[in-house]
């Protein structure tokens, strides 16, 4: 007679197990994970905006043998192509052995992050201090952005249509910029404001200088002095800001957090953590069964509108052109395709447990997070992956020993949010969110766990190779 199973045996067999990823990894794996994260941190430092990320991706793609996509060319298994959309979004594809009409494996991350954009006419001088007026981009807690050293990134299109590329505050010895805040001694009235207005949108003014132009009695002499400096350095006048895109982002570098160096702190990990892991997986892809398509898109943080966001037709056009180069229809490719919408989820925060439902929250060091549905209230705005597709993804992850967990964005009715998943699913593609849990999401300094970053890379690798 077989030995009776104990409660412990039965629980192990029947209960869902959730175990810290670190405890499930060998020392060798932890070593690989730590090494992978060094590359990730370097990427965070090098690519702080969508334009810089797109540039990084194009450079790495070229190094890995990708060539610009040409819709009039014929492609065969193993060919690697890319397409850059207006310097702000990139699509990479590795052609697989199976016919393209059998569908492709899509992975989609976004490379824009919350930040302070300069207004179109940004320069003001107030009481001998000069500022750039800003308009915040994406969902931020405005009070988090003052007193943080900020760097300035972007482009200025001059009257003669030439482009000046700006990147100030990143190199050793560069000046930085910042938004001021009141000292506590004089902030009693400010602290009574509602927290959405502790610092108001129109108070997010970037300090850019304070020395006046000498030997003149004209007004706005600080501004004049700065414009003189900018004219010397870039050949620009104030009018050129009208056709510029300048973004202020945290100037600090990504780094390890904790005595054990288990976590990564850095700006813009939503969603460049998924962008990097997805990119590494696709750059290393070879001999694929199905064609892999990696999308690195812009404008997710403002709702995916615009021609570089995923509500634009640029992805559909690419699929149409790819299909046409095989004499097939884009709609057939899309209808048979599967997609991992590679975006982050909110990591359970033990300091603020009330907003999470612990059974259904992702945790740091829990592995890559699979999110069946996003949205808010009654699942409004979600594409909600089918049980069948969740099952497929689950099987792929388990078969490849990827450490993963599930999680939804907070308690029911507490808040919510969306990703690009719905826009891809709307093209009749099986789509699900898969990404890294992030603590302090949308803050200037976001937190991820190294084991989760590595698990995301392994997940995208497994999916692309499925």
The residues that touch Mn ion, with contacts defined as CB under 5 A, are: 270-271, 343
Residue pair 281/448 in contact (Cβ under 8 Å)? The answer is no
Least Cβ distance, residue 23 to Mn ion (angstroms): 28
Please identify, using beta-carbon distances, which residue of 52 and 343 lies nearer to Mn ion. Answer: 343
Least Cβ distance, residue 446 to Mn ion (angstroms): 10
Least Cβ distance, residue 112 to Mn ion (angstroms): 9
Please identify, using beta-carbon distances, which residue of 105 and 374 lies nearer to Mn ion. Answer: 374
Least Cβ distance, residue 300 to Mn ion (angstroms): 6
Number of neighbouring beta carbons within 10 Å of residue 19: 12
CA distances from 249 to 112, 209, 273, 423 (A): 11, 18, 16, 27
Please identify, using beta-carbon distances, which residue of 271 and 298 lies nearer to Mn ion. Answer: 271
Please identify, using beta-carbon distances, which residue of 205 and 448 lies nearer to Mn ion. Answer: 448
Least Cβ distance, residue 27 to Mn ion (angstroms): 32
CA distances from 195 to 98, 199, 232, 249 (A): 55, 8, 42, 22
Please identify, using beta-carbon distances, which residue of 270 and 320 lies nearer to Mn ion. Answer: 270
Please identify, using beta-carbon distances, which residue of 108 and 130 lies nearer to Mn ion. Answer: 108
Please identify, using beta-carbon distances, which residue of 346 and 393 lies nearer to Mn ion. Answer: 346
Angle, alpha carbons 119-121-125 (nearest 5°): 100
Please identify, using beta-carbon distances, which residue of 240 and 247 lies nearer to Mn ion. Answer: 247
Look up residue 171 and give its two tokens. 């190199």
Q: How far apart are CA 378 and CA 412, in angstroms?
A: 8
Least Cβ distance, residue 182 to Mn ion (angstroms): 28
Least Cβ distance, residue 220 to Mn ion (angstroms): 38
Residue pair 291/297 in contact (Cβ under 8 Å)? The answer is no
Of 310, 392, 295, nearest to 342 by C-alpha is 295
Question: By Cβ distance, which residue is nearest to Mn ion?
Answer: 271
Least Cβ distance, residue 48 to Mn ion (angstroms): 15
């Amino acid at each position: 007679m077989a030995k009776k199973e104990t409660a412990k045996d039965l629980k192990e067999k029947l209960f869902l197990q959730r175990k810290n990823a670190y405890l499930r990894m060998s020392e060798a794996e932890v070593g690989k994970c730590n090494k992978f994260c060094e590359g990730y941190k370097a990427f965070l430092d090098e690519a702080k905006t969508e334009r810089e990320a797109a540039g990084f991706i194009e450079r790495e793609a070229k190094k890995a043998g990708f060539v610009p996509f040409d819709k009039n060319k014929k492609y065969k298994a193993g060919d690697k192509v890319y397409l850059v959309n207006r310097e702000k979004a990139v699509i990479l594809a590795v052609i697989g052995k199976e016919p393209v009409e059998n569908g492709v494996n899509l992975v989609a991350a976004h490379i824009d992050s919350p930040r302070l954009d300069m207004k179109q006419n940004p320069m003001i001088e107030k009481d001998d201090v000069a500022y750039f007026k800003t308009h915040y981009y994406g969902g931020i807690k405005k009070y988090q952005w003052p007193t943080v050293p900020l760097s300035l990134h972007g482009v200025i299109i001059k009257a003669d249509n030439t482009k000046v590329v700006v990147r100030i505050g990143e190199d050793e010895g560069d000046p930085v910029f910042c938004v001021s805040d009141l000292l506590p001694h004089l902030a009693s009235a400010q602290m009574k404001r509602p927290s959405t207005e502790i610092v108001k949108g129109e108070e997010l003014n970037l300090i850019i200088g304070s020395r006046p132009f000498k030997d003149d009695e004209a007004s706005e002499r600080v501004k004049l002095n700065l414009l003189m400096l900018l004219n010397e350095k870039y050949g620009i006048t104030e009018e050129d800001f009208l056709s510029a895109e300048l973004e202020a982002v945290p100037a600090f570098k990504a780094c390890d957090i904790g005595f054990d160096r288990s976590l990564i702190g850095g700006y813009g990990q939503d969603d460049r953590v998924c962008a990097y892991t997805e990119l590494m997986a696709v750059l290393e892809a070879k001999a694929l069964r199905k064609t892999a398509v990696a999308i690195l898109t812009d404008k997710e943080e403002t709702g995916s509108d615009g021609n570089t966001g995923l509500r634009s037709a640029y992805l559909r056009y690419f699929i149409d052109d790819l299909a046409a180069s095989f004499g097939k229809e884009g709609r057939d490719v899309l209808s048979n395709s599967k997609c991992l919408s590679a975006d982050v989820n909110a990591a359970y925060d033990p300091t603020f447990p009330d907003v999470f439902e612990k059974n259904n929250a992702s945790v740091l060091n829990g592995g890559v997070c699979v999110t069946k549905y996003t949205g808010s209230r009654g699942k409004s705005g979600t594409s909600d992956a089918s049980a069948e597709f969740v099952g497929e993804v689950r099987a792929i992850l388990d078969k490849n020993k990827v450490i993963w967990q599930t999680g939804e964005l907070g308690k029911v009715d507490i808040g919510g949010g969306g990703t690009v998943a719905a826009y891809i699913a709307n093209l009749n593609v099986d789509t699900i969110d898969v990404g890294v849990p992030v603590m302090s999401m949308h803050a200037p300094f976001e937190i991820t766990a190294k084991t989760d970053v590595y698990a995301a890379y392994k997940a995208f690798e497994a999916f692309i190779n499925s």
